[in-house]
Amino acid sequence: MITALHTLVYAQDPAAARDFFRDVLRFPATDTGGGWLIFRTGPSELGVHPSSWDHGGEGGTQVGGTDQRFDLSLLCDDLATTMAELEERGAEFEGGVTEQSWGTTVQLVVPGAGTMTLYQPRYEPPALGRSELEAMW
């Protein structure tokens, strides 16, 4: 039985990225030896998206694609408050806040590793409550 989702972040400066997750995001960690930290990240969810798209929406027709195979995002319940708290701890953001149909997003800078999306979802996250599938059982 699957018991959890293990996520990897590849960084040019792993020590800086590990410090960020431990000190700024305050994720609890276990040292598996030699400074290799494994962080507890809490509930998770998994979405599957197409690698290319051509659809209409509020902003008109959107055509695009990606060579990406996996992506990592962080969810929060109040984006403005979370951003303020993280900035007090030294976090930086790239670009501005963006409104999407599925949530409000911003790019969080992970030192030594690039950016990841931080967002406040507009949907009820299955990681935090009952999913439709669970309700069926």
> pLDDT (tens digit, 9 = 90+) per residue, 52-101?
878 766 666 778 887 777 788 999 999 999 999 999 999 999 999 999 98
Residue 133 lies in a domain: no
Percent of the chain with pLDDT over 90: 54
Sequence-distant (≥ 6) Cβ neighbours of residue 9 within 8 angstroms: 17, 21, 72, 110, 113, 116
Q: Residue 24's closest CA among 120, 112, 97?
A: 112
pLDDT level of residue 103 (50, 70, 90 thresholds): very high
The total of structural domains in the chain comes to 1
Residue 35 lies in a domain: yes
Tell me the average pLDDT across 115-136.
77
H/E segment holding residue 133: helix 132-136
Residue 126 lies in a domain: no
Residue 82's domain comprises 6-121
Task: In whole angstroms, give the CA distance from residue 27 to residue 44.
Answer: 14
Residue 102 lies in a domain: yes
Q: What is the pLDDT of residue 136?
A: 46
Separation of first and last alpha carbons in the chain: 17
Residue 16 lies in a domain: yes
Task: In whole angstroms, give the CA distance from residue 44 to residue 4.
Answer: 8
What CATH code is carried by the domain that includes residue 18? 3.10.180.10
Residue 131 lies in a domain: no
Residue 128 lies in a domain: no
